Chains A and B, each alone.
Chain A
Amino acid sequence: MTEKIGVYVCHCGTNIARVVDCKSVAEYAKTLPNVTVARDYQYTCSDPGQEMIRKDIQELELTRVVVASCSPLMHEPTFRRTVQDAGLNPFLFQMANIREQCSWITDNKELATDRAKAIVRAAVSRVNFNEPLEVKRVPMNPDVLIVGGGITGIEAALQIADSGKKVYLVEKEPTIGGYMARFDKTFPTLDCAACILTPKMVSVGQHKNIELMSYSDVVDFSGYVGNFKARIRKRPRYVDEEKCTGCGQCEQKCPLSVPSEFDCGLGKRKAIYRPFPQAVPSTPVIDREHCLYFTKGVCRVCEKFCPRGAIDFNQEEKTIEVPVGSAILATGSDLFDPSLIKEYGYGRLPNVITSLEFERLTHASGPTGGKIVLKNGKPPESVAIIHCVGSRDTNYNEYCSRVCCMYSLKTAHLVGEKTEARVYEFYIDMRAFGKGYEEFYKRLLEEDVTFIRGRVAEITDVAQKETEKGKLIAVAEDTLLGMVRRIPVDMVILSLGLTPRNDAIEVARTFSISRSKDGFFLEKHPKLAPVSTAADGIFVAGACQGPKDIPDSVAQGAAAAANVLSLIDRKEVELEPTIATINEEACSGCRICISLCPYHAITHDEERRIAVITEALCKGCGVCIAACPSGAIEQQNFTNRQLFAEVEAVCS
Chain B
Amino acid sequence: MSKFEPKIVGFLCRWCAYTGADLAGTSRIKYPPNVNPIRVNCSGRVDPTLVLKALTIGADGVLIAGCHPGDCHYTSGNVKTLRRFKLLQKMLDQFGIERERVRLEWVSASEGERYARIVEQMTEEIRQLGPLGWKAKMEALA
Contacts and interface: CB of A to CB of B under 8 A. Distances in A.
A112 to B, nearest CB: 6
Interface stretch (A257-265, A357-365, A635-643): A635-643
A622 B15 CA distance: 14
Given A598-B75, A635-B45, A647-B50, A71 B108 contact: no
Contacts of B116: 105
B40 interface: yes
A643 B42 CA distance: 13
A643 B38 contact: yes
A450 interface: no
Interface string A532-544: 0011000000000
A512 B47 contact: no
Contacts of A647: 9, 38, 50, 53-54, 57, 59
A509 B67 CA distance: 11
B110 interface: yes
B84 A626 contact: yes
Interface in A166-211: none
Contact of A620 (B41, B50, B59): B41
Contacts of B29: 105
Interface string B58-77: 11000000000011011111
A537 to B, nearest CB: 13
A71 B76 contact: no
Contacts of A627: 80
Interface string A236-259: 000000000000000000000000
A73 interface: yes
A625 B81 CA distance: 12
Contact of B31 (A97, A105, A646): A105
A115 B123 CA distance: 14
Given A638-B41, A647-B57, A621 B74 contact: yes
Given A650-B7, A650-B38, A522 B110 contact: yes
Interface string A622-636: 110111000000010
Contacts of A522: 109-110
B137 interface: no
Contact of A598 (B26, B30, B39, B76): B76
A105 B30 contact: yes
B88 to A, nearest CB: 11
B26 to A, nearest CB: 6
A627 B71 CA distance: 21
A106 B39 CA distance: 20
A138 interface: no
A314 interface: no
A644 B22 contact: no
A636 to B, nearest CB: 11
Interface in A511-525: 512, 514-517, 522
A72 interface: yes
A93 to B, nearest CB: 14
A623 B44 contact: yes
Given A578-B41, A623-B44, A638-B45, A71 B22 contact: yes
Interface residues of A, number: 54
B5 interface: yes
A534 B80 contact: no
Nearest to A620: B41
A652 interface: yes
Interface in B1-24: 5, 7, 9, 14-16, 18-19, 21-22, 24
Nearest to B42: A621
B30 A626 contact: no
A1 interface: no
A308 B58 CA distance: 80
A104 B48 contact: no
Interface string A100-139: 1111111110011001001100100000000000000000
A640 B47 contact: yes
B131 interface: no
B69 to A, nearest CB: 10
B36 A118 contact: yes
B37 A508 contact: no
Contact of A514 (B16, B46, B80): B16
A106 B57 CA distance: 26
Contact of A652 (B39, B57, B74, B75): B57
B133 interface: no
Contact of A621 (B5, B33, B77): B77
Given A105-B31, A596-B80, A651-B59, A619 B74 contact: yes
B58 A102 contact: no
Nearest to B35: A101
A99 interface: yes
A85 interface: no
Contacts of A598: 74-77
A648 interface: yes
B34 to A, nearest CB: 8
A640 B50 CA distance: 9
A652 B14 CA distance: 24
B86 to A, nearest CB: 14
B19 A73 contact: yes
Contact of B33 (A105, A599, A644): A105
Between B25, B33, B77, the greatest number of chain A beta carbons within 10 A of the residue's beta carbon is seen for B33
Interface string B114-142: 00100000000000000000010000000
Contact of A100 (B25, B53, B59, B74): B25
Contacts of A509: 70-71
Contacts of A508: 71
Nearest to A71: B22
Nearest to B119: A105
Contacts of A635: 41, 45
B113 to A, nearest CB: 8
B76 A626 contact: no
A648 B59 CA distance: 9
Given A514-B109, A650-B7, A104 B26 contact: yes
17 contacts: A101-B25, A101-B35, A105-B116, A106-B33, A111-B5, A115-B36, A508-B71, A514-B108, A514-B109, A596-B80, A599-B74, A623-B74, A626-B45, A643-B50, A647-B53, A647-B59, A651-B135
Interface of A: 71-73, 97, 99-108, 111-112, 115, 118-119, 122, 505, 508-509, 512, 514-517, 522, 534-535, 578, 596, 598-599, 619-623, 625-627, 635, 638, 640, 643-644, 646-648, 650-652
Instruction: Rank and list the top 3 A-B pairs by shortest CB-CB distance, nearest first.
Output: A622-B45, A100-B25, A621-B74
Given A105-B30, A522-B110, A598-B76, 19 more contacts: A97-B37, A101-B25, A101-B37, A103-B25, A104-B25, A106-B31, A119-B36, A508-B71, A512-B73, A512-B75, A515-B110, A516-B110, A534-B73, A535-B73, A598-B74, A621-B45, A627-B80, A647-B50, A650-B7
Interface of B: 5, 7, 9, 14-16, 18-19, 21-22, 24-26, 28-33, 35-42, 44-48, 50, 53-54, 57-59, 70-71, 73-77, 80, 84, 108-111, 116, 135
